[in-house]
Chain A
């Protein structure tokens, strides 16, 4: 090896080698900073190889012997091989789309070239270098091979170079096709410069080898161009990626800020947030959500751990929906029961939605978790209260659906446990009343929220077996678990009302019996009353007959007589009507009754009794006596009893036998009627017993009259009592409430 004399080209080659070396070093350092960036490493090797090649080439240009030239050329091929292999590695790792088999073909062909190079005594270019020559070059002289014998493999080396070229072009085209913007630019820049360089170097090599060109070996400038072009691209990419990284960092910071804000907001609201991206294996949760579900604050939450917290149908549904590639939007709402470390039970509501997945494959579901323990406890408390209630209870929503029932309600309406809930309320209403009930229900629900019906509405209800019940219902409208509800408390009155009906029937029957018995006592008197008008009618008619028979009938006579007959017939009819009223057995008919009128009528009924017994009657009726509400017949029955008793009481009495009937008001709200006789009065020890059943002072009396009177008066909301007069006789006194005509 001779010393290097500095000439222009020597200087140029040194500069180019140094440049390659520097760029190689820089990329080596870049690779050290990012060990996975293998393309830096390969490029660094290629650049360093370029630097080495520059050195070899410079020496070749100054070679002084054939042997030197041969050795240098041999080493040059070694470096070239490293260079090409490094470039293949670079292209493969940079573009990531090279055909692997083509890359291997390049590598193998180059390896074979290297073998041929090593096994040759000279190199792969020449079997023998015959002589060297010098040519003028850049103001100096450069040594070139003047004459040599070509190596048969030198063509293969050329082929190998062109395979490499094909590989580079192919890869660049693929990268261009696959990529966008920056990637295309890189494909064009790197692929273009590489191809150009290889084409240039290959062509020059070929022409020189064929002896067309007489140049020194000059691959280095091409290498430098290549290194600069690729280096430029790499630096550009580095700058870009650094910018992207900066952006990402900023975005990341923004996202974190958003997350922090959201976390704060959800924390403040006591809401946990979760998200599960479709096919991901882990679930993201806010710290509140983690605490709620009992997950560690920091650890990863696997999808299966998350699903285990849900009830099975929800979990299966959620997973199924999420795994569908075209997941539809679907709402999720479920309640979870979790126990915390202390064993305390919390109730959570997990709600959310499955959405089509955007950037994710499959769906993404996200939602919130709310602690509903207080509400749930309220519900449970309400449920326990309902179960403990002596009433049957129904809770009905705005649409009239039964949302909650207690066991009593199920038993009352004959439904199996759990089968009443969810039904429409109207199934419990007899068919004929359903439409009306529905409109009443809607009306109630549209009223003010705090609406109640505390007066116990009597309605009919239908059981599942079709039985009709008579129930009493109290209604309260309230908000339960945030929903507008009406709570109904129900009592079954069927048995009680049947009993009441029975009792009323018995009362009616007894009253009727007593009335019939009184009318029996009165029968003589009534016959008398009825016979009077009949007698008048008959006499009038027969007198007229006789006149007619004698031809003495005048029309004025006939007119008078007929008027009288009509009047008397009416009178008889009226008497019969009154008798019928007293004897009939009807339901009580509530109406407005004037006690003065009622007493006057009864006095007419007993008129002949009074006259037969030589009793004189004194009446003192209050003027403008307010009416009472009652059954006229029953009230008259009471008066009749009292009058007949009074007349009876005076039967053994010498005249005058005075009977007094008085009516008067008693305060604003009551009226009083009293019947006073002047008989012997009632023995003091029996005074308290006269209203007891089967107590009688009469030999033939059943002893029911006054007992029935008391029942009737009390049924009318009044009182009846007996007392002895200061002088002689007794007074029976009835007090009845005045009919308040203002109220319906």
Chain B
């Protein structure tokens, strides 16, 4: 298995169903791996799942069911998109799953087109999430390169204050503020103030109190 290519991680306690699902993915040219229980998946080394992809997860399993695994994964920050499969699902169960971020909630016996489509969507979502996470990391890196004074200034700026007001708040002159502002835009790699606001919003930097 080449690292980096997306895979379908099947978690189902029924070996015959698992085997058949593996055959589906094989026939569609999708890489897949199977786990016999939620615990087995959780215990799997990070390297196995690092390549990304999605989880094809059976809802009802002994000891730990699919929904519980979903919660556990969220808690651990190993956010892979999940396609739920159930042999007998009800509406509250599906609502709960979707709310928790599931891609789809399919009922067995599942049609392969629907399954493969859901898996495609999940892969796409995974890729999107990965890109978003990378962008986030870049912004964080850039924000981390700001000096303390520059971060203070940034906080005031995203709160929508004028340079003169910022200078007054920080007890300095307007010109100094202008220099800081230029440095911040340079470090964050943006050309307008609007972009600065967007990045800081995404990074979760809160505007300074006035």
Distance (Å) between the CB of A517 and the closest chain B CB?
19
The closest CB in chain B to the CB of A540 belongs to B20
Binary B-proximity of A542-583 (CB < 8 A = 1, otherwise 0): 111011001010000000010010011001000000000000
Q: Does any Cβ of B come within 8 Å of A117's Cβ? A: no
Chain A residues, Cβ within 8 Å of B62: 610-611, 614, 616
Return the contact of A546 from the options B28, B85, B90, B107 (Cβ within 8 A): B28
Q: Does any Cβ of A come within 8 Å of B27's Cβ? A: yes
Q: Given A528-B88, A611-B61, do A543 and B16 touch, yes or no (CB 8 Å)? A: no
Q: Is the CB of A535 within 8 A of B109?
A: yes
Binary A-proximity of B4-37 (CB < 8 A = 1, otherwise 0): 0000000001101101110110111000000000
Q: Does any Cβ of B come within 8 Å of A630's Cβ? A: no
Interface size class of A (residues with CB under 8 A): 20 to 34
Chain B residues, Cβ within 8 Å of A530: 87
Q: Is the CB of B88 within 8 A of A531?
A: yes
Chain B residues, Cβ within 8 Å of A567: 16
Q: Is the CB of B65 within 8 A of A537?
A: no
Q: Does any Cβ of A come within 8 Å of B94's Cβ? A: no
Return the contact of B112 from the options A525, A542, A571, A610 (Cβ within 8 A): A542
Return the contact of B88 from the options A525, A533, A538, A550 (Cβ within 8 A): A525
Q: Is the CB of A543 within 8 A of B26?
A: yes
Q: Is the CB of A536 within 8 A of B112?
A: no
Return the contact of A532 from the options B26, B64, B108, B111 (Cβ within 8 A): B108
Chain A residues, Cβ within 8 Å of B19: 536, 564
Q: Given A532-B16, A614-B63, A614-B65, do A543 and B23 touch, yes or no (CB 8 Å)? A: yes
Q: Given A532-B108, A542-B111, A614-B63, do A527 and B88 touch, yes or no (CB 8 Å)? A: yes
Q: Does any Cβ of B come within 8 Å of A608's Cβ? A: yes
Q: Does any Cβ of A come within 8 Å of B186's Cβ? A: no
Max chain B Cβ within 10 angstroms of own Cβ: one of A534, A571, A611, A616: A611
Chain A residues, Cβ within 8 Å of B109: 531, 534-539
Distance (Å) between the CB of A555 and the closest chain B CB?
15
* Complexed CA–CA distance, A535 and B64 (Å): 21
Chain A residues, Cβ within 8 Å of B107: 531
* Complexed CA–CA distance, A112 and B107 (Å): 165
Return the contact of A538 from the options B13, B86, B110 (Cβ within 8 A): B110
Max chain A Cβ within 10 angstroms of own Cβ: one of B28, B62, B64: B62
Q: Does any Cβ of A come within 8 Å of B60's Cβ? A: yes
CB-CB contacts below 8 Å: B96-131 with A: 107-112
Max chain B Cβ within 10 angstroms of own Cβ: one of A525, A539, A561: A539
Distance (Å) between the CB of A737 and the closest chain B CB?
36
CB < 8 Å A-B pair total:
97
Max chain B Cβ within 10 angstroms of own Cβ: one of A524, A536, A547, A571: A536
* Complexed CA–CA distance, A220 and B14 (Å): 165
Q: Is the CB of A543 within 8 A of B20?
A: yes
Q: Is the CB of B27 within 8 A of A543?
A: yes
Chain B residues, Cβ within 8 Å of A268: none
Distance (Å) between the CB of B53 and the closest chain A CB?
18
Distance (Å) between the CB of B23 and the closest chain A CB?
4
* Complexed CA–CA distance, A547 and B26 (Å): 9
Q: Given A542-B24, A543-B23, A608-B88, do A535 and B60 touch, yes or no (CB 8 Å)? A: no
Max chain B Cβ within 10 angstroms of own Cβ: one of A532, A535, A564: A535
Q: Does any Cβ of B come within 8 Å of A344's Cβ? A: no
* Complexed CA–CA distance, A568 and B18 (Å): 13
Return the contact of A616 from the options B63, B65, B87, B110 (Cβ within 8 A): B63
Distance (Å) between the CB of A524 and the closest chain B CB?
5
Chain A residues, Cβ within 8 Å of B63: 611, 614, 616
Q: Is the CB of A532 within 8 A of B87?
A: yes
Q: Does any Cβ of B come within 8 Å of A6's Cβ? A: no
Chain A residues, Cβ within 8 Å of B13: 611
* Complexed CA–CA distance, A329 and B85 (Å): 108
> Can you name 7 A-B residue pairings with CB atoms under 8 Å?
A532-B14, A542-B111, A544-B27, A546-B27, A571-B16, A611-B61, A614-B62
Beyond A535-B85, A543-B27, A614-B62, list 8 extra A-B contacts (CB 8 Å).
A535-B17, A535-B20, A536-B20, A538-B20, A539-B23, A543-B23, A547-B27, A614-B63
* B positions within 8 Å CB-CB of A: 13-14, 16-17, 19-21, 23-24, 26-28, 60-65, 85-88, 90, 107-112
